[in-house]
Amino acid sequence: MKTDFETLLISLLPLGGTFLMRNEFSTGEFKDGPYTFKKGKGWYTIYPEKQQNSERASHIHLRAQELSFAKIEVFEKRTPQLQFFDKKREKAPLVFTFPSFYNWEKDAEPIQDHQKVFENWVSQWGRDFELGGENANS
């Protein structure tokens, strides 16, 4: 599906989940959804929906212009991810992990509601995305 980063972001933020940002030096996790965002000059600031001011809470700043495609990755006994790639890296620098499929405090008991959220999202949006500029929807 051809779309833009912002459209996908808007579809993901209410779900909660976890954002992972990674590079050759580090990996950061951002867990405190559901989220909202504001857009600045070339940047997206993502922060917890319950906060009125993005700078007063944990938040992340993203530059999404270089992200060219995204795809769903499903792993055995792990929660699926939407991985965002640029043309330079083999490993996704930005990852959204859907709400956990398993309750690890209860011996990995499946969380059926979260699995349904994922299934519904994929049936609406798909699994592979070509990211273009603004208004790239088709």
> What is the CA angle 86-90-133, rounded to 5?
15
Answer yes or no: are the C-beta atoms of 136 and 9 closer than 8 Å: no
Nearest alpha-carbon partner for 47 in 39, 58, 10: 58
Q: Which residues on adjacent β-strands are paired with residue 129?
A: 70
pLDDT at 138: 39
Q: How far is 73 from 127, CA to CA, in rounded Å?
A: 8
Distance CA 3, CA 6 (A): 9
- How many other C-beta atoms can be found within 10 angstroms of the C-beta atom of residue 88? 8
How large is the C-alpha radius of gyration of the chain? 15
pLDDT of residue 133: 64
- 54, 76, 107 from 8: Cα distances, Å: 20, 24, 32
Q: What is the pLDDT along the chain (138 residues), one digit of tens a residue?
A: 999 999 999 999 999 999 999 988 999 999 878 899 999 888 999 998 888 888 887 889 998 888 999 999 999 889 999 999 998 778 899 999 999 999 989 999 999 999 999 999 999 999 999 998 654 443
What is the C-alpha to C-alpha distance for residues 4 and 65, in angstroms, rounded to an integer? 10
Question: What is the pTM for the complete model shown?
Answer: 0.88
